[in-house]
Amino acid sequence: MAADQSAKTGADIVPAPPQANTHCTAADYDRLYAQSVSDPDAFWGTQAERIDWMTPPTVISNWDYDPVDIKWFEDGVLNICHNALDRHVAAGKGDVTALIFEPDDPNSEARKLTYAELLSEVSKMANCLKAMGVKKGDRVTIYMPMIPEGAMAMLACARIGAIHSVVFGGFSPEALAGRIEDCGSRFVITADAGLRGGKTVPLKANVDAAIDEPDHETPLDGVLVVNHVGADIAMVQGRDHWYHKLAATVSNDCACEPMAAEDPLFILYTSGSTGKPKGVLHTTGGYAVWTATTFHYVFDYQPGEVFWCSADIGWVTGHSYIVYGPLLNGATEVMFEGVPNYPDFSRFWQVIEKYQVNIFYTAPTAIRALMREGDEPVKAHDRSSLRLLGTVGEPINPEAWRWYHQVVGEGRCPIVDTWWQTETGGTMITTLPAAHDMKPGSAGKPFFGIQPQLVDNEGGVLEGATDGNLCIIASWPGQARSVYGDHERFEQTYFSTYKGKYFTGDGCKRDEDGYYWITGRVDDVINVSGHRMGTAEVESALVSHAKVAEAAVVGYPHDIKGQGIYCYVTLNAGEEPSDELVAELRKHVRTEIGPIATPDHLHLTPGLPKTRSGKIMRRILRKIAENDYGSLGDTSTLADPSIVDSLIEGRLNR
């Protein structure tokens, strides 16, 4: 049987290698999981002791999914920045290295910051924000490269009770403007420019362009600019402040704001199947307990180890496992500015050797891209420090899993394939390194407190080994509380499809051992290189072009990216299709959203397959994009069935 085939049947099992130290054996998992679902308040009351509370909570959980009202630790008071920094310094760990910064260019200087140094820097930045007029509850947009100041900006906001909204540095000015506008943010923290793979990203210029957008209404009261590359930028008098200049005028002592557990901590925009990106809202206490606990168990972090999560702080993985989870645990971690293939394909492995990384957490898309380059770039560097490997962001195909396990981890390191979402705050389904055998391609078992349920399209509960839509039936501390400014949309998006349950939007298989296999999104969300994108967002970018009449966007399997973006576009009457126009439309999408949304295929077509009531039949468009013409299903309800042949012909011609 082919290896990948056996994995799909669940027959292929890789035993958990023995771990010298572990926070959780198989017996521990069984006992703790049972307690976490039979008596969640007792379980989470104990886990909450990981946090240093100003007022410890007496009420642990208080939630309802109909109507949706989620609270954890509601009468507790804390500050998450205190927990990430001050607490460790007070415990005599001020000299422990918190961040090791590895720049984009290996020849540039690396930086190390201890917990005491990070505390001092964050306090200074917090005082700068105060000097600019930022107050508790204000929304602060962070548009930063992957440099320590990005993490500091988040922690500085948390310290003074401001709500951070990090926007990925790869997003365009238009996308940035929409996110500033949506949450009414009047402050931005940015850098003159960022560096990625040797290229300069004009961050400050993008902020200026965003504010100049014609439909941008919220004026900015302050922009704090970190001088990273010495780029020549415009500074607006009275509004824009160089961080290094302002920081020189403030103290490095800043008291932590007491925050109620349910006070907002951050907003993070993420794509859904309809409409504009949603500002997913996380609050303070539950998120702190959740990220601290998941980091502790999933990565089985041991004091002195070096952790590296290669995500960007612009995504939830960076929030939970670069900033909050590791620092709440007093860990030492690498923060990497660059990309896996610059200056060459051995960059990741070189960084692992340089800092003797023990735990490495990355995305399947990076693994597949590096696997394609063969084993040599990996073997050129010593990886004997590695103890544990992790993946996140999309399903990992068993072939890539095996390469990661055998070649990168030399067969020695367990792999945690962590399934979770922006909305879940942290890891939900994963094997634990010392507790569970692994099955390549399966995320594994539910984390403590997580009760997955598979349902059919009508909401009927499916038992045993089966396939279905993945729901979670009970709340957990790290769950998102709302969509910023639109609680109804929160209810509608996540709790209305299957009443009384949180619906993840993912399809999933459960095997006879109770292992979960995520099969991908079942809604109109596509996952390109681990980045979530609503097909509707790409469609609205396309139709905003003057020559476009209509657009339909679907995902299709892509060897490296997991899914690629396939766009069907009809033009306005009188417009002629041409290669130039295709190039222009691709560029237009990049400008509207950002390079991550660049269409892989742009298919100009005279029409789209529609039902007589005018609904676009996406099922057919998906099949054609996949080059799967044998199972187009029933096309008889189409208003004009002949359009299908013309689409197939168009697909075959590219």
Task: Give residues in contact with ligand 6R9 (CB under 6 A).
Answer: 270, 315-317, 392-395, 417-422, 443, 504-506, 518, 520-521, 527, 532
Contact predicate 235/192, CB 8 Å: no
Q: Which of 10, 222 has the CB closer to ligand 6R9?
A: 10
Shortest Cβ 394–ligand 6R9 spacing (Å): 5
Minimal distance in Å, beta carbon 418 to ligand 6R9?
5
Which residue, 316 or 435, has its beta carbon nearer to ligand 6R9?
316
Q: Is 532 annotated as a binding residue?
A: yes
The residues, any chain, with a CB within 8 Å of residue 235's CB and separated by 6 or more, are 225, 242
Instruction: Give the three-class secondary structure for 622.
Output: helix
> Which of 337, 506 has the CB closer to ligand 6R9?
506
CA dist., res. 547 & res. 555, Å (int): 23
**From the CB of 291, what's the least distance to ligand 6R9, in Å?**
12
Smaller CB distance to ligand 6R9: residue 226 or 298?
Answer: 298
CB of 268 to ligand 6R9, least distance (A): 9
Q: How far is CA 229 from CA 104, 193, 198, 620, in A?
A: 11, 6, 12, 48
Is residue 628 part of an annotated ligand binding site?
no
Which residues are within 8 A (CB) of 267 and not within 5 positions of it... i.e. 6 or more apart?
Answer: 139, 163, 164, 165, 183, 279, 280, 281, 282, 484
610 labeled binding residue: no
Query: Would the annotation count 441 as a binding residue?
Result: no
Q: How far apart are CA 540 and CA 544, in angstroms?
A: 6
Cα(366)–Cα(360) distance, rounded to whole angstroms? 12
Q: Is 469 annotated as a binding residue?
A: no
Q: Which two tokens stand for residue 278?
A: 């949603």
- Distance in Å, CB of 392 to ligand 6R9, minimum: 5
CA distance 594 to 130: 32
**Of 252 and 421, which has the nearer Cβ to ligand 6R9?**
421
Q: How far is the CB of 494 from ligand 6R9 (least distance, A)?
A: 11
196 is in an annotated binding site: yes
590 is in an annotated binding site: yes
Distance of CA 388 to the CA centre of its chain: 20
In the chain, the amino acid numbered 331 is: A
Nearer to ligand 6R9 by Cβ, of 142 and 522: the residue is 522
Beta strand pairing status for 139-143 and 163-166?
Answer: parallel
* Tokens of residue 548, six digits: 């476009």
Nearer CB in complex with ligand 6R9: 421/451:
421
Q: Computed from CA positions of residues 4, 7, 13, 14, in that sequence, does the dihedral angle turn out positive or negative?
A: positive
Residue closer to ligand 6R9 (CB basis): 202 or 520: 520
Q: Would you say 492 is a known binding-site residue? A: no
Find where tokens 């960022």 sit. 194
Q: Do the annotations mark residue 461 as ligand-binding?
A: no
Shortest distance (Å) from residue 366 CB to ligand 6R9: 13
3-state SS assignment for residue 282 = strand
CB of 198 to ligand 6R9, least distance (A): 26
- Please tell me the distance from the alpha carbon of residue 210 to that of residue 206, in angstroms, as a whole number: 6
Rounded Cα gap, residues 620 and 604, in angstroms: 16
Q: Binding site annotation covers 395?
A: yes
Instruction: Tell me whether residue 198 is annotated as binding.
Output: yes
Residue 5 CB, nearest distance to ligand 6R9 (Å)? 19
DSSP type of residue 108: S
CB of 341 to ligand 6R9, least distance (A): 21
Q: Is 121 annotated as ligand-binding?
A: no
Instruction: Give the closest residue to 269 by CA, choosing from 144, 171, 135, 160.
Output: 171
Nearest in space to 85 (alpha carbons), one of 304, 328, 326, 292: 328
Q: CA–CA distance from 563 to each of 287, 365, 395, 596 (Å)?
A: 30, 10, 11, 12
Which lies closer to ligand 6R9 via its Cβ, residue 267 or residue 443? 443
586 is in an annotated binding site: no
AA letter at 645: D
Token reading at 614:
């005018």
ω into 343 cis (within 30 of 0): yes
Identify which of residues 36 and 427 has a Cβ nearer to ligand 6R9 in the complex.
427
Q: How far is CA 316 from CA 206, 215, 216, in A?
A: 22, 28, 26
Please enumerate, by residue number, every residue annotated as part of a binding site for ATP. Answer: 393-395, 417-422, 506, 521, 532
Could you list the residues known to form a binding site for CoA, using ranges. Answer: 196-199, 317, 341, 529, 590
Known binding-site residue numbers for Mg(2+):
543, 545, 548
Binding site as annotated, residues: 196-199, 317, 341, 393-395, 417-422, 506, 521, 529, 532, 543, 545, 548, 590
